[in-house]
Chain A
Amino acid sequence: MNRSAQFVFGLLTLLFCCCVSEGQCATGLNPHFSVYTSVTRDGNNISTYVSISGYTSVPPGCVMTTATHHVGAENKLNNVDHWTYSANGCPTCYFSTSDSEAIVGVPGVLYPWGWDATSICSAVGQVSNSGGGGSLPGCTVPATETTALDGRTNTTQTNFNQTIADTAGDNFNGKMLQEGDAAPATDGCWWPTAIAPKVVGVTGGPWTVAGNNVSGQLNHWGWDIIGNTTPIIDDYRNNGPSHGITIPCTQTLHQKMSIQCPSGAWIPYTPPAGNTITVKVDHALVTNCRYDMNGFQCDPISY
């Protein structure tokens, strides 16, 4: 009886002190976690993403046999809270988990977003924690842009009429658009005494969707007037060759299109390389082209 009691006493004490020593080990836990968050749009949806991955260093000599660890990623978009947790694992295990959410953004609405990434030990609670967030403008940007010919200005300049759209068929009427340079322009028709200045970039716009020359046309913007006037073309043809210009000559511009969000920020919607605009001046032909996100239109003009 006495031996049995001693054995039970010893076992209970050992077990209890093991638990306590794990708690003491936990005070020296050293977290090594990386957190990555991102916000993306596809012209209609707003997607948010939170991930956490890494491990925890346990102090030398500590063997935590009963504690378990796990990590969690919180993604609270528009006040809807989502947590994704990894499975429980050993204290020195490597953990990864992530959470992605998406909503349809409505222009003019600000969506609250909060995120949190945490690692948790069953013995002591949180081992590490990181969080952040802000407001996401529900400003959707066009996902497509197509170009159509819409007449000419000054005989040799082409009026291009564009249609923008996204997957949800959003109405962009009234939104402001502007152009910028995605890359430096090149002007193969210019020499220092030419009557026209060297083409170094686009002029900037701006345009109002369904306004200006395309008033009332749903999701249209324009005109994007491309080309040279006849006196400039005459100058290129008549005086260019004696100044080293070879006819045909070409001018190339790289147009970055942006749309203005309710916040006032301009958000580019063309690919990083932008649209490509070319103006080719030949002996009896002028060709103005606009290569957009989805295709191109060229206007060959006999002049």
Chain B
Amino acid sequence: MLRSLLAAFILSICTCMASAQASAPPQHQHLVANTNAIDGAVNPELIADSTAYRLCLFAWSTAKNPSSDALRHQQVQVAQTGLDSNDQVTFVSILYDFRTKYDAAITAYNDSAKAALARNETTDVHPLLQTLDSLVQSTRGAINLQLSPAGAVRLHSFVVGEKKNMKVQED
């Protein structure tokens, strides 16, 4: 009895392995199933302003307890936007607020995704995407309100110009 069970188990493994080999891709194969990839160097107009802002705001902000290298990187990046020194100080404060909320939203989502997985369930990412969009919108509002009018215009122009350095795979 035991022998026949063992044989059946080995047989089922072989069957499963054959099935897996037929369907699973090899390691390091690029599985870019998303066909909506946008190369900003080719079609910058297809990248939404909100996406461009999200990527730039993330790039220019620092995580909690930033290293001296991270702060230097931020200083160089913010200076590159062409904002005057007063606007730069204000903008760094706006970036701090953005990053704090951004990291909190992602941490909360990831915690819920892990908890759902533990229950053999999947999580809907769209509420997070809406939260991030709202965060970008409110941050743009703060930029328009707190920076000088010329600074806000200059920053917007810079962000839009940065689309050429972005590659985006959207829904």
Contact = CB atoms under 8 A, between A and B. Distances in A.
Given A27-B31, A31-B33, A271-B82, A36 B59 contact: yes
B23 A23 contact: yes
Given A9-B8, A24-B20, 4 more contacts: A16-B16, A27-B25, A35-B168, A271-B82
Q: How large is the interface on B (under 10, 10 to 19, 20 to 34, 35 or more residues)?
A: 35 or more
B118 to A, nearest CB: 8
B101 interface: no
B51 interface: yes
B167 to A, nearest CB: 4
Given A34-B55, A34-B166, A29 B31 contact: yes
Interface of B: 1-2, 5, 8-9, 12-13, 16-17, 19-20, 23-34, 51, 54-56, 58-59, 69-70, 72-73, 76-77, 79-80, 82, 84, 106, 109-110, 113-114, 116-117, 120-123, 125, 128, 154, 162, 165-171
What are the 8 tightest A-B residue pairs by CB atom distance, in nearest-first order? A23-B24, A125-B27, A36-B55, A100-B73, A35-B167, A93-B110, A272-B82, A20-B20
Contacts of A9: 5, 8-9
A94 B165 contact: no
A241 interface: no
A64 B24 CA distance: 14
29 contacts: A1-B2, A16-B16, A17-B16, A20-B16, A24-B24, A31-B33, A32-B34, A34-B54, A34-B168, A36-B56, A38-B59, A38-B162, A40-B76, A40-B80, A42-B79, A47-B73, A49-B77, A64-B117, A65-B117, A89-B114, A90-B113, A92-B113, A92-B116, A94-B113, A100-B70, A100-B73, A102-B72, A128-B30, A271-B82
A6 B5 contact: yes
Contacts of A24: 19-20, 23-24
Contacts of B20: 20, 23-24
Nearest to B107: A94
A195 interface: no
B169 A33 contact: yes
Interface string A16-55: 1100100110111111111111101110010101010111
A34 B24 contact: no
Interface residues of A, number: 61
A32 B73 contact: no
Given A13-B12, A35-B166, A36-B56, A92 B117 contact: yes
For B24, B54, B162, B166, which residue has the most chain A Cβ atoms within 10 angstroms?
B24
Given A53-B58, A130-B167, A94 B77 contact: no
B125 A94 contact: yes
B25 A124 contact: yes
Interface string A112-135: 000000000001111111100000
Contacts of A32: 34, 169-171
A63 B55 contact: no
